[in-house]
Structure formats: structure tokens, C-alpha cells
């Protein structure tokens, strides 16, 4: 798959274009089904499978969502999409001008003149153009005018809930990371570099790695202790992660949230390494203990509790 940044840089190959269009944050089951449908149609008809997506996320241009957080990094989204049979991913540089573009102009400039689409694939809840005024009906009307077909993916339900990025964000916010897996088909993940901490974990014989997540506007799950799988130096290992303010360590209440990873039965030096953490299950709330002995005993309990969830995700 080739990735083109800026729709102005896209050059039509002369083949029919079958374009899946959306923000695709989280790449959940609905997204993957939609993109695969576009890819299958393209390859069946000798066409080019294109994903048209946006960076930054369009919701960043809604006044109430200026600090909008993503489920998936752009790099990870690109990686997942590349495995779905797509030939070309076109990333629109979403800006104020595009956010105020009428739906009719978006269709004419991007879909008709630039991509020269034969078919467009969208989700049932896809909106576009100024004030989100464009929808499936808008596209279908334009398709009749310009000669392209519109395919609308119906809602997918899991456990009486419609699969959506909004639902997944709510689950991450509340710490229900095991439920996230059901909607995305894989765990929520965070990546970051291991940085030096205060060394307390090693002194307590429970070494921890402090994970510094890049400031890319990615969601952080609810404060608490989690069973996670982690990938470091190409090896997938079992671990527990504490997301919180370390109330047992600091006498005064802190507002700084840290991510501390304890890799089970592992003593390697991984400072400076990048770690990918895959969230399997929230085990408990973070809490303040009377002393370090009680904290250590609880961590041992956390490790035992986490162990029952790891076998199910041995193929990460």
C-alpha cells in the first residue's frame, strides 16, 4: 500500500477508483468490513482500492472538541489499513478551509475531479462538509449526477450496542478495555519509551518501567491497574500496568498521571526502548496503601489475577 499525504498529490492511475471514506479512528469491526468491501470490489473489477481519510481528525475543528483524543495513532492506523487489501491511502490535510467546505464542493473537487471515483463506500453514520451537512443521501444524489455508485454499510451490533468509535472511547474512558476488544477485534494499545523513574520498584524487588507516551493526542484509559501484554525488542511478554498518581509514594496528592509497567518474571534493562502495551483487563482501582509492604503484597495479587487473562491473547 502506498500512502499519499495531501489529496492534491494523488495522481489517478487510469483504473476505476473504489474509495472507502472516513476518519477510521480505532479501525473497529465496522471500519475493517467497509474497507475490505471496497478492496474486494476494486480487485474484482480491475480497479484501485483507495482509502480516503483525514489528518487531523475532523472533530478537532469542532469548538467543543479542540482537545479531542484519538483511539489509534495515525501510524498504527496506516499499518492496520495496509493489511486490508488497500492499494492507496490518501490522507487529506484537514484544515479550517476544508471544515467550511460545502458538501457539494467536497464531492466535486475531491471525489469527482481528483479521485475520479467509480464507487464510494461509507458507514451509515458518515457526515462530511460544513456543519456536517453531507450524508449518504447527499452522496447518492451526487452519484446520480456524476455517475458514481454509493455503498452504505449498515450498523453492526455487538451485545445490543452499535459498533462505533464513540462507544469505544466511552469504554476506554471507563476502563472497560476487555469490552474494547469485542468492538475492535484487538486490544487497545499504547506505545511509549521507557524513561528513568525514581528506582523505587527495583528497591522493592518489583522492577517497573516508566512509560512516556508521545504527545500525539492519544487516549489514556481510566486510572487503575491493568493486565497487559507488552512487546519489547520483538518479544511479547505478560505484564501489569498501573496508571495513576502513585498515592502510596507521595504524601501530598499528586495530579501527575504516570504509566508504570511491571513485566512479570523479567529483569532486563529496557531503558530507552519503545514498548507497545496491549490492554487486556482492568483489575482494580488505584489506591493508597498503609505502607510499602502492603503495596508489594497487592502487586503480587495483581500479578496472580492478571495471569488468568493472558493465555487467551497469546497471538498478539
Give residue-wise pLDDT tens across range 111-147: 999 999 999 999 999 999 999 999 999 999 999 999 9
Residue 88 forms beta bridges with which residues?
2, 50
Using DSSP, state whether 77 is helix, strand or coil: helix
CA distance 172 to 77: 17
| Domain limits, the chain | 2-154, 179-313
245 confidence band (pLDDT: 50, 70, 90): confident
Q: Which residues contact 37 (CB under 8 A, 6 or more apart)?
A: 20, 121, 151, 153
Selected residue with higher pLDDT from 205 and 95: 95
CA quadruple 24, 175, 243, 271: dihedral sign: negative
Q: How far is CA 256 from the centre of its chain?
A: 24
DSSP secondary structure letter of residue 289: -
Cell triple for residue 180?
474494547
**How confident is the model at residue 60, as a pLDDT?**
85
**How confident is the model at residue 171, as a pLDDT?**
97
Residue 296 Ramachandran class (φ > 0 left, ψ -120 to 50 alpha, else beta)? alpha
CA distance 155 to 140: 18
Q: What is the per-residue pLDDT across 248-282, written as a single tens digit (0 to 9) for each? A: 665 556 667 899 999 999 988 899 999 999 999 99
Using DSSP, state whether 19 is helix, strand or coil: strand
Using DSSP, state whether 265 is helix, strand or coil: coil
CA quadruple 36, 151, 146, 22: dihedral sign: negative
Q: What is the per-residue pLDDT across 195-235, written as a single tens digit (0 to 9) for each? A: 987 666 665 677 888 999 988 889 999 999 999 999 999 99
* Contact (CB, 8 A) for 100 and 130: yes
CATH of region 179-313, choose from 2.40.30.30, 1.20.120.10, 2.60.40.420, 2.40.128.110: 2.40.30.30
Q: Which residues contact 93 (CB under 8 A, 6 or more apart)?
A: 5, 6, 7, 55
**How confident is the model at residue 255, as a pLDDT?**
67
Cell triple for residue 301?
495479587
Q: What is the per-residue pLDDT across 27-52, written as a single tens digit (0 to 9) for each? A: 999 999 999 999 999 999 999 999 99
CA distance 153 to 162: 12
The three state secondary structure string of 113-166 is: HHHCEEEEEEECCCCECHHHCECHHHHHHHHHHHCCEEEEECCCEECCEECCHH
Overall fold of domain 2-154: Rossmann fold (3.40.50)
182 confidence band (pLDDT: 50, 70, 90): very high
What is each CA distance from 295 to 53, 249, 287, 292, in whole angstroms?
46, 10, 9, 5
CA distance 238 to 230: 6
DSSP secondary structure letter of residue 252: S
CA distance 89 to 221: 29
Amino acid at each position: 500500500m502506498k500512502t499519499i499525504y495531501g489529496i492534491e498529490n494523488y495522481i489517478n492511475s487510469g483504473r476505476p477508483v473504489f474509495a472507502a471514506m472516513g476518519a477510521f479512528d480505532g479501525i473497529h469491526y465496522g471500519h475493517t468490513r467497509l474497507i475490505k468491501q471496497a478492496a474486494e470490489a476494486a480487485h474484482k473489477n480491475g480497479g484501485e482500492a483507495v482509502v480516503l481519510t483525514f489528518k487531523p481528525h475532523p472533530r478537532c475543528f469542532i469548538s467543543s472538541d479542540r482537545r479531542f483524543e484519538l483511539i489509534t495513532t495515525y501510524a498504527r492506523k496506516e499499518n492496520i489499513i495496509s493489511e486490508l487489501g488497500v492499494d492507496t491511502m490518501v490522507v487529506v490535510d484537514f484544515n479550517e478551509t476544508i471544515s467550511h467546505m460545502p458538501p457539494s464542493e467536497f464531492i466535486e473537487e475531491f471525489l469527482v475531479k481528483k479521485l475520479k471515483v467509480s464507487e464510494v463506500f461509507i458507514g451509515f453514520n458518515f457526515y462530511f462538509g460544513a456543519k456536517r451537512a453531507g450524508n449518504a443521501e447527499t452522496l447518492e444524489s451526487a452519484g446520480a449526477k456524476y455517475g458514481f455508485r454509493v455503498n452504505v454499510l449498515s450498523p453492526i451490533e455487538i451485545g445490543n450496542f452499535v459498533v462505533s468509535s464513540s462507544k469505544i472511547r466511552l469504554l476506554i474512558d471507563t476502563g472497560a478495555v476487555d469490552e474494547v476488544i469485542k468492538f475492535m477485534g484487538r486490544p487497545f494499545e499504547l506505545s511509549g519509551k521507557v524513561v528513568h523513574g525514581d528506582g523505587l520498584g527495583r528497591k522493592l524487588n518489583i522492577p517497573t518501567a516508566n512509560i512516556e507516551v508521545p504527545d500525539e493526542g492519544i487516549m489514556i484509559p481510566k486510572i487503575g491497574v491493568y493486565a497487559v501484554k507488552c512487546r519489547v525488542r520483538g518479544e511479547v511478554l505478560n505484564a501489569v500496568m498501573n496508571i495513576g498518581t502513585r498515592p502510596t509514594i507521595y504524601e501530598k496528592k499528586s495530579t501527575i498521571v504516570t504509566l508504570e509497567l511491571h513485566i512479570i518474571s523479567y529483569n532486563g534493562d529496557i531503558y530507552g526502548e519503545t514498548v507497545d502495551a496491549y490492554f487486556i483487563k482492568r483489575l482494580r482501582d488505584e489506591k493508597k496503601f498503609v505502607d510499602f509492604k502492603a503495596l508489594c503484597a497487592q502487586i503480587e495479587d495483581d500479578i496472580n489475577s492478571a495471569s488468568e487473562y493472558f493465555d487467551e491473547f497469546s497471538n498478539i
